Structure 1
Amino acid sequence: MSVRKRKPQPVKAAKAHSRRTHQAKPKARPAIKPAKAAVAVPQVKDRASPSKQEAVLALLQRAKGATIPQITEATGWQPHSVRGFLSGVVKKKLKLKVESRKDGSDRTYRIKGRASS
């Protein structure tokens, strides 16, 4: 039986070292960081305008509910963000029951059991 010898492979060019290996190592940080401000000033929200979350919840609490286009218009969010808000915040975090029904081409959402005229 004859054993075939492998052909010698061409030598590959060595890869250039990354720039990171040639950079100087960062200096050690001090153990204690100085405080940025002595006293934190609490931010006061302007209660004249509701937050976007409050606006969406108000729309959902109406007797007829709200559609995704209505919510996107009120908040400026994208439709996928509205659906994520309904699922993640309203259903999971706030533990509210959201009722959904199909009306023509749009789906109407409302908070179940909390209809306020």
Structure 2
Amino acid sequence: MTNSTKQRATKKDQLIRLLGSKNGCDIKLLSAKLGWQQHTTRAALSGLRKAGYEVAHEKPKSGGVSKYRITSSPVTREITPAAVEPHGA
């Protein structure tokens, strides 16, 4: 594969990868890694939720920094021929 055919990871891909870690990430770290302001990072988390990802917000009981992590990805439906055929065809 040459450089011209390699697909670059999008910011969304990077966000999903960071949130997929076992321990999750805090807003400050996510913002620094992605080069976004914190409010932009929070908006991106909302966008992931709207896209069907379950994003857990974990606040430590002892105080400290809240962390976010993906607990499940959106379910993709399998398209069957019956699902695409018009009714009565």
Alignment TM class, shorter chain as reference? 0.5 to 0.7
Match of 1:105 in 2: 64
Instruction: Determine what percentage of the aligned residue pairs are the same residue.
Output: 28
SS of corresponding position for 2:66: strand
Q: Gaps spanning 5+ residues in structure 1: where?
A: 1-43
1:106–1:45 Cα change, 3 Å: farther
Alignment TM-score, normalising by the size of structure 1: 0.52
Question: Could you say if the C-alpha distance between residues 77 and 99 of structure 1 is closer, same or farther in structure 2, counting changes exceeding 3 Å?
Answer: same
In the alignment, does 2:13 pair up with 1:54?
yes
**Cα distance in 1 for residues equivalent to 2:30 and 2:5:** 22
Q: Specify whether residues 45 and 111 from structure 1 end up closer, same or farther in structure 2 by C-alpha distance, changes over 3 A only.
A: farther
| Equivalent residue letter for 1:76 | G
Structure 1 position 45, deviation (Å) = 7.6
The residue number in structure 1 matching 2:41 is 82
Check 1:113–1:76 CA distance in 2 against 1; reply closer, same or farther (3 A cut).
same
Separation (CA, whole Å) in 2 of partners of 1:45 and 1:107: 39
* Superposition deviation, residue 113 in structure 1: 3.9
Runs of 4+ in structure 1 deviating by more than 3 angstroms, as ranges, are none
Q: Deviation at 1:105? A: 2.5
Deviation string 1:30-74 (CA, Å, 9 cap, x unpaired) is xxxxxxxxxxxxxx7852x42111111001111111110110111
Q: Deviation per CA, 1:74-105, whole angstroms, max 9, x where unpaired?
A: 11101111111101x1001x211111111332
Mark the structure with the bigger radius of gyration. 1
Which structure has greater helix proportion?
A: 2
> Which structure has the higher relative contact order (CA within 8 Å, separation 6+)?
2
SS of the residue corresponding to residue 21 of structure 2 reads coil
